[in-house]
A = this chain, B = another copy of it.
Amino acid sequence: MAKDKKLVEAITSMDVDFAQWYTDVVKKAELIDYSSVKGCMVIKPDGYAIWENIQKELDKRFKETGVQNVYMPMFIPESLLQKEKDHVEGFAPEVAWVTHGGLEPLQERMCVRPTSETLFCDFYARDIHSYRDLPKLYNQWCSVVRWEKTTRPFLRSREFLWQEGHTAHATAEEAEERTIQMLNLYADFCEQVLAMPVIRGRKTDKEKFAGAEATYTIEALMHDGKALQSGTSHNFGDGFAKAFNIQFSDKDNKLKYVHQTSWGMTTRLIGAIIMVHGDNNGLVLPPAIAPVQVVIVPVQQQKAGVLDKAYELKNQLSGFRVKVDDTDKSPGWKFSESEMRGIPVRVEIGPRDIENGQAVLVRRDTHEKTTVALAELDVKVDELLKDIQRNLLEKARSHRDAHTYTAVTMEEFAKTIEEKPGFVKAMWCGCQECEDKIKELTGATSRCMPFAQEQLSDKCVCCGKPATKMVYWGKAY
């Protein structure tokens, strides 16, 4: 039994040290390994399989809205990066520079893309001529590089995987509509697939993307009360179009600038799944995204008929992603391991179960055990997976709501942030001085101005002047 417990004992309790708990889960659930390249990670099969499920589901939703996938070069010549002033200021300090090709120095150095607005704009300037060419609704799946100083697996790494959508439209209205459409698509995806509730809103000017007119965001609350920006959607207006000269002749035969958007989600979402649903036994995966939804653990598998029955049950469950753990480890070890890996449902089947025509189902989220007749197994598993998906969302929403506070004075604000990790809702006058001051006094940043506004008071929590917006504040990853 000592050996069986080892896998679990090695995890730090999340209440003792949340950061260490996170690192332990990421490693012990075999999602990643560190690499010889500082700040870059190896995404192992179980981590990558989650990303594949995220990709598959997002990609399907993108395509339903008319988006097409493309692929742009991974390099950006320095002169191209510099074309849009705010953009280069935002990104140049954190890019990786290629200076040599083979044995020769390059005539112009190139950066590895930190994001691809400049490449898409360069392409659109050549490819868009007429209103008939619009809208362009392009997306690409790729990796990007940002030379961060401090890194953490999935949350902040020098290279990460993502998708970046880049669209061009004939009118400002259409661009705004697409920006909001994609934000809502992201939010629905998080709630329906990742079982993760999010706050939808707009970033303040201070927090918006380099070069954007408006940045919209979805913000989630992690188990430790810190916020995680989980997806963003930007409206560029015609700023990039003017910098890159992307014009089209409209129906009225006039030359006009296009209006553009971009939107992205990253492997950071895997970090979010871990920190929203995980517990002291390890990872807890929402069934919709779990690479393995059901693990079948044969008990006393050396006895005649047990392994055969386990494979038979796998066939019966062919509508789900199922694995039989037929390794030579002990059942106790397998139970711990399946919990560590976050597999939503465990089926235990031993000689006595077979005799009684039943199996034991254990759900990962509540640890609840039920005994079911084998004939009903597929129906019960289906019900259980749906219930786990629903329960995870509900649990996360309750946790989020229970850790969302309001403050009408700075004293209240500071005390809440200090004592009760979570979101703080507070009114704001709209000026950056107050935003800066709040950060200085409390460590909290503005997360977003939610679409669902509330009138908590009519004064700015910081300066007392008339408030224009209710803002979600919080400490963030």
Binding site for B on A (CB under 8 A): 33, 35-37, 40-45, 48-49, 51-52, 68-77, 80, 93-103, 110, 112, 119, 122-123, 126-127, 138, 142-143, 145, 147, 158-159, 161
Once the chains bind, are A159 and B75 in contact (CB under 8 Å)?
Answer: yes
Once the chains bind, are A37 and B68 in contact (CB under 8 Å)?
Answer: no
Looking at A33, A69, A74, A122, the one whose CB has the most chain B CB atoms below 10 A away is A74
Once the chains bind, are B35 and A123 in contact (CB under 8 Å)?
Answer: yes
Once the chains bind, are A161 and B80 in contact (CB under 8 Å)?
Answer: no
Assembly CA distance A103 to B147 (angstroms): 10
Identify 27 residue pairs between A and B in the complex whose beta-carbon atoms are under 8 Å apart, listed by A's number.
A33-B126, A36-B77, A36-B119, A36-B122, A40-B74, A42-B72, A42-B73, A45-B68, A45-B69, A45-B70, A48-B69, A49-B68, A51-B71, A52-B69, A71-B143, A74-B74, A74-B143, A74-B145, A74-B159, A93-B103, A95-B102, A96-B100, A97-B100, A98-B98, A98-B99, A99-B100, A102-B147
Assembly CA distance A291 to B37 (angstroms): 38
Are A71 and B161 CB-contacts (below 8 A) given A77-B36, A96-B98?
yes
Inter-chain contacts of A95 with B (CB < 8 A) = 102
6 smallest beta-carbon distances between A and B, as pairs: A40-B73, A45-B68, A101-B147, A43-B71, A97-B100, A102-B147
Inter-chain contacts of A35 with B (CB < 8 A) = 72-73, 119, 122-123
Assembly CA distance A93 to B101 (angstroms): 8
Once the chains bind, are B96 and A42 in contact (CB under 8 Å)?
Answer: no
Assembly CA distance A228 to B145 (angstroms): 34
Inter-chain contacts of A123 with B (CB < 8 A) = 33, 35, 42
Inter-chain contacts of A143 with B (CB < 8 A) = 71, 74, 142
Partner of A94, one of B42, B48, B96, B102: B102
Are A96 and B101 CB-contacts (below 8 A) given A42-B73, A44-B70, A145-B74?
yes
Once the chains bind, are B97 and A37 in contact (CB under 8 Å)?
Answer: no
Assembly CA distance A74 to B77 (angstroms): 19
Residue of B nearest to A141 (CB): B141
Once the chains bind, are A138 and B100 in contact (CB under 8 Å)?
Answer: no
